[in-house]
Structure 1
Amino acid sequence: MHADTSPLLRFGVIADPQYAAVEPNLVLGRYYANSLTKLAEAIETFNAEDLAFVVTLGDIIDRGWQSFDAILPLYDKLRHPKHFLLGNHDFGVDPEKLGQVFGRVGMPSPYQTFAMADWRFVLIDGNEVSLFAPPPGDPRRTAAETWIETLKSQGADNAHPWNAALGDVQFAWLEETLRKAEAAGEQVVVMGHYPVYPPNAHNMWDSQRIVDLFGRFKNVGAYFCGHNHDGNYGLADGTHFVNIKGMVETPDTTAYAIVEIHADRMAIRGYGRETDRTLQLETIMPRLVVAASR
């Protein structure tokens, strides 16, 4: 039994609605148009709860600028603050609109951080070095071409054009953000579109350096992501890696979650295909106290 009953805070999580007004892909099991109904149901559930915010972990749409016009109004019915990450499919728009996607969903910047109840939330932009998000001719796209060819030559499982990496400036920002959080005594949840652990074909190209970075900061309690619609979970160096299942999958079974943060654990309440989990944080708290007392 746990002594505390009231969480420090709760937040809602959605991954990969991937909406488009197109026929389903029966081979992949993706029912793009049905995500409007599933998302409306999730928002109704969230609105009945006391949540600090709701985050969508990317792939709001599958393709087409007009898809934003259909799905984003549903989020206007949400009574809680909302945060978006972008995924690879969110950049499936005309090249001249690539630079407008962040603004279209109301993101203040491609990556950001905010704090609540002594927890630091860090939202990263995993699309920065990719073959789809930067406009044609952008040096980040050239860097992505080199990166994926190197991975292919190494036989890497994640050497796919629908994965991506952080740029070095953003990686340095992430490291500095974790360092400041540690100094302030804050525990951390990082969120991104792409998995980084356990090893998987859907992982970011630079997943290993991200996992290694988290391992150096013992206050990183969890990393939440989407992209791999089957979901996944791993634990490494005290950090829980939670891959939320894709809402777009199946004709009518949804997938989303509510996360409760307690002093000693996170409790994930899954809906539809999403899994219930209890993530123990005891391994983090003592280390955090020791680090803060130095």
Structure 2
Amino acid sequence: MKDLHSSRPLFSFGVITDVQYADVPDGRSFHGVPRFYRGSLAALNEAIAIWNDQGSDLSFVIQLGDLIDGRCPRDQAPAAAREIVAAFDRFRHGHVYHTIGNHCLYNLSRGQLQEILRIDGSFYYDFVPHPGFRFIVLDSYDVSVLGGSSRDHSSLAMALLDAKNPNVDKNSPLGMAPEQQRFVAFNGGIGDAQLQWLDRKLREAEDRNERVIIACHIPILRESTYDDTLLWNAEEVLRVIHRYDRCVVASLAGHKHDGGEGVDEKGIHHRVLEAVLECPPGENSFGRVDVYEDRLELLGTGRMRSATVFFR
């Protein structure tokens, strides 16, 4: 058995997802789950304070989408998003990387999000936090009716939903077969140009003997999530990832608020992280990930479950 305490991590980072802040009264999801819109800001501030107390051990933070909630009034959305970004800016020990989610796009345009999140260019990008490791951040609303990355992609998304989802309410999977339930308006997909970019980045990483961690708001493995919270073209993305034998070691996602996990056919661990939004006052959901030569150790706080992921 491997000794999990035999060495110090190579680097560590913070993780959090689905803050979904809004200055509105608490409510419930479509399934009746309580949601604490105002309290999520306090929870985020607590996470930042704890990460700061952990000192320079944390190299960066990555948030996996849905900074504000769709219930945030449109005229208040830019200020609410800036308030959340200002909280992240109080993290003292490194950069904060952002992934966009569906709630980010309900009341904010891509242009507004680029300005508020200070993302210069595409919402899919990569970075190298430590020699031998690369993060690839995907834009899971590249093809989307909520605000695709181009007019053509928005039109493609509308045509896809019309063809795949027979319901008048395109947010509803009612009556659809399980494998078709992903085709709802609050999900999205990854376009051809992004898939080609992903292929190039994975080829580069494999050539450089780098290990890769994928970050995407919508889960990309069906076994890790519900049928209606899966990326539209998840199998296509996995086919690209699986071209590279030992490159990708883990995938992190949000979107499914109660979390999930699964291991795909190539042994890649897919972890869906638990949301901040559904934490009542006094509870929280965030974590730190310690990265070693042979594994990731997710140390969760509150609702976020801890896990150890050994590399293949």
- Describe the SS at the equivalent of 1:216: coil
- Describe the shift of the 1:142–1:42 C-alpha distance in structure 2 as closer, same or farther (beyond 3 A): same
In the alignment, the residues of structure 2 paired with residue 126 and residue 159 of structure 1 have an alpha-carbon distance, to the nearest angstrom, of: 13
Shift in Å at residue 82 of structure 1? 0.8
Shift in Å at residue 3 of structure 1? 6.5
In the alignment, the residues of structure 2 paired with residue 152 and residue 191 of structure 1 have an alpha-carbon distance, to the nearest angstrom, of: 27
Shift in Å at residue 209 of structure 1? 1.0
- Check whether the contact 1:197–1:241 (CA below 8 A) recurs between aligned residues: yes
In the alignment, the residues of structure 1 paired with residue 82 and residue 243 of structure 2 have an alpha-carbon distance, to the nearest angstrom, of: 42
Provide Cα deviations, 1:234-260, integer angstroms capped at 9, x if missing partner: 111121101011110132221111111
- Any residues of structure 2 matched to 1:267-286 within 5 Å, and which? 267-281=297-311, 283=312
- Check whether the contact 2:198–2:240 (CA below 8 A) recurs between aligned residues: no
- Any residues of structure 2 matched to 1:101-116 within 5 Å, and which? 101-109=113-121, 110-115=123-128, 116=130
- Check whether the contact 1:118–1:187 (CA below 8 A) recurs between aligned residues: yes
Q: Which residue of 1 aligns with 2:97?
A: 83
Gaps of 5+ in 2: 167-175
Cα RMSD for the two superposed structures: 1.7
In the alignment, structure 1 residue 202 sits paired with structure 2 residue 226? no
Q: Which residue of 2 aligns with 1:151?
A: 164
- Describe the SS at the equivalent of 2:134: strand
Aligned length: 279
In the alignment, the residues of structure 2 paired with residue 130 and residue 112 of structure 1 have an alpha-carbon distance, to the nearest angstrom, of: 18
The partner residue of 1:55 within 49, 62, 71 is 62
The partner residue of 1:70 within 83, 86, 97 is 83
Q: Which residue of 1 aligns with 2:171?
A: none
In the alignment, the residues of structure 2 paired with residue 3 and residue 272 of structure 1 have an alpha-carbon distance, to the nearest angstrom, of: 23
Shift in Å at residue 280 of structure 1? 1.1
In the alignment, structure 1 residue 19 sits paired with structure 2 residue 21? yes
In the alignment, the residues of structure 2 paired with residue 222 and residue 208 of structure 1 have an alpha-carbon distance, to the nearest angstrom, of: 16
Provide Cα deviations, 1:113-138, integer angstroms capped at 9, x if missing partner: 11123101111111111011238x92
In the alignment, the residues of structure 1 paired with residue 238 and residue 285 of structure 2 have an alpha-carbon distance, to the nearest angstrom, of: 26
Counting aligned pairs with the same residue, the percent is: 29
TM-score by length of 1: 0.90
- Describe the SS at the equivalent of 1:229: coil
In the alignment, structure 1 residue 184 sits paired with structure 2 residue 208? yes
- Check whether the contact 2:124–2:139 (CA below 8 A) recurs between aligned residues: yes
Q: Which residue of 2 aligns with 1:238?
A: 267
Gaps of 5+ in 1: 284-294
Shift in Å at residue 57 of structure 1? 0.5
Letter in structure 2 aligned against 1:11:
F
In the alignment, the residues of structure 2 paired with residue 70 and residue 82 of structure 1 have an alpha-carbon distance, to the nearest angstrom, of: 15
Shift in Å at residue 141 of structure 1? 1.0
- Describe the SS at the equivalent of 2:146: coil
- Describe the shift of the 1:24–1:145 C-alpha distance in structure 2 as closer, same or farther (beyond 3 A): same
In the alignment, the residues of structure 2 paired with residue 184 and residue 151 of structure 1 have an alpha-carbon distance, to the nearest angstrom, of: 40
Shift in Å at residue 5 of structure 1? 1.9
- Describe the SS at the equivalent of 1:158: coil
Structure 1 segments, 4+ long, off by >6 Å, are none
